[in-house]
Amino acid sequence: MLSDDAQTLLGGILIGDASAYGSLRPLVGARLGADPVAYLMPSGGVEAPTGELPDEAVVCSCSNVTAGRIRQAVHDEGCTDAGAVKACTKAGATCGSCVLMVKKIVGQELTKLGQTVSNALCEHFDLSRRQLFDAVRVSELTTFSAIIERFGRGRGCDICKPALASILSALVGAHVLDGENASLQDTNDHVMANMQKDGTYSVVPRMPGGEVTPAGLVVIGQIAEDFALYTKITGGQRIDMFGARLEQLPLIWQRLVDAGFESGHAYGKSLRTVKSCVGSTWCRFGVLDSVGMAVRLELRYRGLRAPHKLKIGVSGCARECAEARSKDVGVIATETGWNMYVGGNGGFTPRHAELFASDLSDEALIQAIDRFFMYYIRTADRLQRTAPWCEELEGGLDALRAVIFDDALGICVDLDTAMTRHVDNYEDEWAATLRDPAKLARFRSFVNAADVPDPSLGYVATRGQLRPVTAEERESGAVMIAGTTLEVRR
């Protein structure tokens, strides 16, 4: 939608290919300064005729940082990478969804200044993530200290440590909390739970394909009641329980593991969920067993660490109730087999997945996904989703098809072997942690008072459940304190 003079972009809806969203969203409300067709239907891509966003375009909506402010940080304040721009302008410091755009603008401006744009992972490594992955694989090093001694310098940072933790997980497959590599993990992986705004954690057991038995529901309900946890059905077709304190996590997971549940990896850059409709099992329109395939895929790729989170969707017919084309890998049933789509995601820059292969058998589908994931894990940049990775691949999807189906690079045996090793070596991280006293020792709120709840926690009742107190509510004093449960002494 344009203004009456066709010079100002007022808004719009992208149907089908949504790849232009990331470039068009910052232009809303701005004067285009050229023929709108050049922006909306360019011959060479989705960017403006100049290839750049106007200065007034908002890149980071969280902190209201414009493209012009980012350029100023580069030219006038000496910022030479996205990290420096974030520290200077706060762009990308909140949700992080604009970081890739910030990085792109910084690269453009440095090129104008005649500077070489570095692909180095961080100040401690001159190698990119892809180069570092290959270096670690060939050298067969298994610890951060050995890797940085040979290929880097210094003591590492919050960029290279989690990146190498992911690389080592893919190549070595050890528990994330084993040995010195436990110190590489970020806040969530460090305790295998998602930290929430009040410092408590969420607990998300895996429910493959969205399936859960009545007995399993009873166990989850009882745990949530006993620990006074806020419960919510997630968009990934599983149950999230919020409000668990650090020292409660082992107690909760012990009961979940005893009931047959395992970690849902909601905290890691790994496979999250495989969403499915009920398919031919129940639906009169379903042509294939989408639930069965979803369960099979989730159990195969559970725990698979990657540069970013991975999501899969499986729909039992073309009506697409599982929204498979908004996932990294989308699987849609047809009368003659499975159609496979790749490179989709929601978020700040939503993108529909593109058709990658048609009419695949069960085994052919799984082999193609195996190779797609492993090739992505080996070659993607740090924190790069499959959508931008697919867009940046030289040769596009045709070249990717040649790698996956025609073995154009001669690496398919390596990719298949790597996935087989992952499947064979999988072990539930929480089950392993519960058996290891050394790992359990980290789950204490206070070193000298392991069972004492954090007194700064506060809650109010909303719609029959407890939620964290706001600053205004805390000032009023009408809150529950000392955690969500109080010990009853008789």
The structural domains of the chain, with segments of one domain joined by +, span 1-42, 52-112, 129-185, 267-427
- Residue 478 has a pLDDT of 67
Question: What is the rounded CA–CA span in Å between residue 70 and residue 47?
Answer: 18
- Say whether 288 sits in a helix, a strand or coil: coil
If you average pLDDT over every residue of the chain, what do you get?
Answer: 88
Question: What is the rounded CA–CA span in Å between residue 200 and residue 458?
Answer: 11
Provide mean pLDDT across the span 15-28.
Answer: 65
Could you tell me where the DSSP H helices lie in 184-319?
187-191, 214-226, 249-258, 279-282, 290-301
DSSP code for 349: S
Specify the amino acid at residue 272: R
Contacts of 440 (CB under 8 A, 6+ apart): 250, 433, 434
pLDDT category at 36 given cuts 50, 70, 90 is: low
Specify the amino acid at residue 282: W
Chain segment 305-331, per-residue pLDDT in tens: 999 999 999 999 999 999 999 999 999
Q: Which two tokens stand for residue 257?
A: 């593991």
Instruction: Cite the beta strand spans of 19-85 per DSSP E.
Output: 58-60, 65-66
- Residue 54 has a pLDDT of 79
- Residue 331 has a pLDDT of 98
Question: What is the rounded CA–CA span in Å between residue 49 and residue 33?
Answer: 10
From the list 290, 295, 272, 271, the residue with the least C-alpha distance to 280 is: 290
CATH class of 267-427: alpha beta
CB contact at 8 A, 264 and 204:
yes
Specify the amino acid at residue 384: Q
CB contact at 8 A, 245 and 262:
no
Question: What is the rounded CA–CA span in Å between residue 8 and residue 1?
Answer: 9
Whether residue 132 has pLDDT greater than 80:
yes
* Alpha carbon 267 to chain centroid, angstroms: 9
Q: From residue 237, how far is each of 130, 153, 232, 255, 374 by CA, in Å?
A: 33, 44, 10, 21, 25
Chain segment 283-298, per-residue pLDDT in tens: 999 999 999 999 999 9
Whether residue 391 has pLDDT greater than 50:
yes
pLDDT category at 50 given cuts 50, 70, 90 is: very low
How is domain 52-112 classified at the CATH fold level? Arc Repressor Mutant, subunit A (1.10.10)
Q: What is the pTM of this model?
A: 0.81
Q: From residue 187, how far is each of 65, 144, 326 by CA, in Å?
A: 27, 18, 28
Q: Which two tokens stand for residue 82?
A: 């996205």
Provide mean pLDDT across the span 162-170.
Answer: 94
Long-range Cβ pairs for the range 401-409 (8 Å, 24+): 401/356, 401/357, 403/371, 403/375, 404/368, 404/371, 404/372, 404/375, 405/357, 405/368
- Say whether 271 sits in a helix, a strand or coil: strand
